[in-house]
Amino acid sequence: MRHRIPYPILAIVVLLAASLACSLPGVLAPPRAPSPSPTPQVVVIVATPTPGPLPPADSADSVEARRIAVYERVAPAVVNVTTQVLRSSFFWGTVPEEGSGSGFLWDREGHIVTNYHVIQGAQKVEVSFGGDVTLPATVIGADPLNDLAVIKVESAPAGVEPVEVGSSGNLKVGQTAIAIGNPFGQFERTLTVGVISALNRTIETDNTVLRGVIQTDAAINRGNSGGPLLDSSGRLIGVNSAIYSPTGTSAGVGLAIPVDKVRRVVPVLLREGRYPHPWLGIEGLGYELSPALARGLDLPVERGLLVARLYQDSPADQAGLRSARREVIVGNRRYLVGGDVVAAVDGKPTAKWEDLNSYLEEHTEVGQTITLTIVRDGKEMTVKATLVDTPESLQGN
């Protein structure tokens, strides 16, 4: 006789059997396909040091953030320099004329560096730190030949820090260049970015020759003169001074005085009010020997500088150099000849007048004695000359 298990009891038995099958592998469990043996795991314990500062990520976002940080740190120290100059007018007599440029805070004593041509001839100078902060300024020192000047306000606004001074001796073409200034005297603290396009340019301006100049394609316009040129870390690498442009606006050729020269000149301006420039006292009238000219003048050297005239009582005069004695015509040009030919200075060949002038300006100082290699009456000889300060009448004041 069969006994049927009541349905509720049967359901409970089935549930218990299923639970037991799950908890006891291989017991009441359906057969499973064999699985591959697991790959052995190797546990490696690494001692990780505390990480140091990471280099900035090379991404567009990080570059942008870096530029923003440079601007926020440096821009408060960039000022707008406005001047008032008295000009003579045929109809109105003497009338005031306003000019503007840029500058930047050099130290916490309120000294500001700008270009000489920004404050040249100014009867009144004012400095704006932005907003309503405009302060009167006085000229402390000026160097026309290097187009640099220092002005001073009584005190800089609270929280404004001087621009960090860098170096220009190790710059490379292609490095980032950042300019901050006041183009056209209206757009305060404008930032433009480019690269260093060239180094060691020699630029002739209306009043002087600028040597060792940095060229950049960062947009520089009128009103930027005297503002800072910065590297990607916000350090000063130059003072924006001029542009090369047929239209008077930025054409991608901006020119800046290198900061190494600024570092040499500004402390002297702060101390003495002017910068002494070594002077020899030779007037060459641009006579530079070439092989053809040397043959025409029957000279034994093919390269050198013809001494045409000497300034009276100048170092060259006192050293015994001889100036020209007669005039001759070679080809279709007149030459003053018969004087000495300067072939080298301190052993450096002088094929062009710029070779001599650049050496004196960049590598000597007032009071230094130099050795000139000259050719006189067909014979080579040396003379020594002690350099003096360039007369102010020759400095473009």
pLDDT tens column, 161-196: 999 999 999 999 999 999 999 999 889 999 999 999
Annotated active-site residue 298? The verdict is no
* Separation of alpha carbons 370 and 246, rounded Å: 41
What burial class does residue 315 get, using C-beta atoms within 10 Å of its C-beta: 0-12 exposed, 13-18 middle, 19+ buried? buried
Below-50 pLDDT ranges, the chain: 1-55, 57
Short-list 182, 85, 74, CA closest to 127: 182
Among 117, 241, 314, 317, the one annotated catalytic: 117
**What would the two tokens of residue 80 be?**
């707008």
* Separation of alpha carbons 343 and 299, rounded Å: 12
* Separation of alpha carbons 342 and 308, rounded Å: 11
- 334 touches 326 (CB < 8 A): no
CATH 2.40.10.120 fits 62-275, yes or no: yes
Per DSSP, the three-state class of 397 is coil
The pLDDT, as a whole number, for residue 353 is 94
Class of domain 278-394: mainly beta
Mean of pLDDT over the chain: 85
Q: What are phi and psi of 101, to 5 degrees?
A: -165, -165
Annotated active-site residue 147? The verdict is yes
Which residues fall within 8 angstroms of residue 319, CB to CB, at 6 or more apart? Answer: 372, 383, 384, 385
The pLDDT, as a whole number, for residue 37 is 45
Among 100, 102, 111, 147, the one annotated catalytic: 147
Among 102, 168, 197, 225, the one annotated catalytic: 225
Delimit the domains of the chain by residue range. Answer: 62-275, 278-394
Cα angle: 60, vertex 65, 68; to 5 degrees = 130
> What is the four-CA torsion angle of 114, 118, 119, 123, rounded to 10 degrees?
-140
* Separation of alpha carbons 277 and 364, rounded Å: 9
Annotated active-site residue 58? The verdict is no
* Separation of alpha carbons 386 and 316, rounded Å: 8
Write the CA distances from 71 to 76, 110, 221, integer angstroms. Answer: 8, 20, 19
What burial class does residue 216 get, using C-beta atoms within 10 Å of its C-beta: 0-12 exposed, 13-18 middle, 19+ buried? buried
What burial class does residue 63 get, using C-beta atoms within 10 Å of its C-beta: 0-12 exposed, 13-18 middle, 19+ buried? middle
Q: Identical fold at 62-275 and 278-394?
A: no
